[in-house]
């Protein structure tokens, strides 16, 4: 589902506890598409841009492209999900903070 949602082979996101996320843009809460039994995909109701996933569990996963400062050290990836589904040539080195 992530590939269809992003239009990319892989996606980089950062996860936050749902209770710490505040939607402040002009569109406020994102629109959502129920993509599985446990999660919904979030997108901007105004322009359609993909934002990430809002899980039923207390987690919100936002794509790094949503942030004004995506190179911020706080957003450096610390792990991989679904490694078995990545292209064989895709190797991302995880740096310790």
User: What 3-state class would DSSP assign to 78?
Assistant: coil
Structure tokens belonging to residue 55 = 């899980």
- pLDDT value at position 41? 92
The whole-model pTM stands at 0.75
Answer whether residue 56 is part of any domain.
Answer: yes
Answer whether residue 2 is part of any domain.
Answer: yes
For 4-52, write each residue's pLDDT tens digit.
667 777 788 889 999 999 988 777 889 999 989 999 999 988 888 889 9
Answer whether residue 63 is part of any domain.
Answer: yes
For 56-91, write each residue's pLDDT tens digit.
989 999 998 888 887 888 887 777 777 787 788 877
- pLDDT value at position 37? 93
| Domain residue limits at 11 | 1-18+29-67
CA angle, corner 19, sides to 28 and 70, nearest 5?
65
């Amino acid at each position: 589902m992530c590939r269809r949602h992003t239009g990319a082979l892989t996606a980089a996101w950062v996860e936050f506890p749902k209770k710490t996320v505040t939607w402040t843009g002009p569109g406020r809460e994102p629109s959502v598409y129920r993509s599985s039994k446990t999660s919904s995909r979030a997108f901007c109701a105004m322009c359609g841009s993909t934002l990430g996933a809002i899980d039923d569990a207390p987690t919100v996963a936002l794509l790094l492209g949503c942030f004004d400062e995506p190179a911020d050290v706080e957003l450096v990836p610390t792990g991989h999900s679904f490694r078995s589904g990545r292209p064989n040539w895709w190797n991302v080195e995880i740096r310790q903070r």
